[in-house]
Amino acid sequence: METNSKELIVQGFTFNDFMENTYVLGERGGEVCVIDPGCNSDEEWSTLCQFLAKEGCKPVAILLTHGHLDHIFGVERARTAWGVPVAMHPGDLPLVERAQAQAQMWGLKLGNVRPPELELTDGQMLGLAGCSIRVIHTPGHSPGGVCLYLQAHDLLFAGDTLFNGSVGRTDLPGGDYVTLIDSIQTRLMPLPDNTLVLSGHGPQTTIGQERAHNPFLAG
């Protein structure tokens, strides 16, 4: 999926065995952020790098919506290759610290993942890659889960908080269903109906569509 408004570029890729969505956000031919780099093979890494080269994009930061394994497979490779900082809410630091052990439990390989250099906090405004991005803390799927909101473009990167017709799972360590639903209802549902929602898995949706039809938000 690719969306352009003036110089804005938003490109999604689906990577790894968990079908995770990685996004490139920023200016075509300029600076970009990479959100949740889940590339877990040489082929996936090459796909991402080829796109950046083709569009003339320069990564300036890696933004993590949360610290689960499938969203950080490519973090170390990317931060080393690009020399850019990683930003994440501190509530998910324990997940990153346990990521290598979790990968082994799934029969997957993952090297050591260093802690993020930067902290994301609720309400924080990020001026990156030509974009104004508001951090919205949405715990429930994980303690430090966040969504990234671009009000000027009616665009929300929802991580694993909200999906098309569903919500994030809460049966993993640190997950809590009541907290998740409260996060969605109080932090995301007040956004305009036409806000495009790009999730960590699956197809895009809108806030209006989920408000009207998501069975987990009924009542």
pLDDT of residue 3 exceeding 70, the answer is no
- Residue 116 corresponds to which amino acid? P
- Report the pLDDT averaged over residues 90-98: 96
pLDDT of residue 6 exceeding 60: no
CA dist list (Å): 27 to 86, 146, 159, 199: 19, 22, 21, 21
Task: Give tens-digit pLDDT for 188-200.
Answer: 999 999 999 999 9
Mode of pairing for the β-strands spanning 146-150 and 155-159: antiparallel
Query: The domain 2-217: what is its CATH number?
Result: 3.60.15.10
At residue 109, the pLDDT reads: 87
- Could you read off the pLDDT of 51-75 as tens digits, one per residue? 999 999 999 999 999 999 999 999 9
For residue 184, give the DSSP letter: I
Whether this prediction's pTM lies above 0.85 is answered by yes
- CB within 8 A of 24, min separation 6: which ones? 9, 10, 11, 12, 13, 32, 33, 34, 35, 48, 51, 52, 57
Q: What would the pLDDT profile of 130-157 be if each residue is shown by its tens digit?
A: 999 999 999 999 999 999 999 999 999 9
Which amino acid is it at 108? L
The domains of the chain are located at: 2-217
pLDDT at position 185 over 90: yes
* pLDDT > 70? residue 219: no
The answer, yes or no, to whether residue 7 has pLDDT greater than 90, is: no
Residue 39 has pLDDT above 90, yes or no: yes
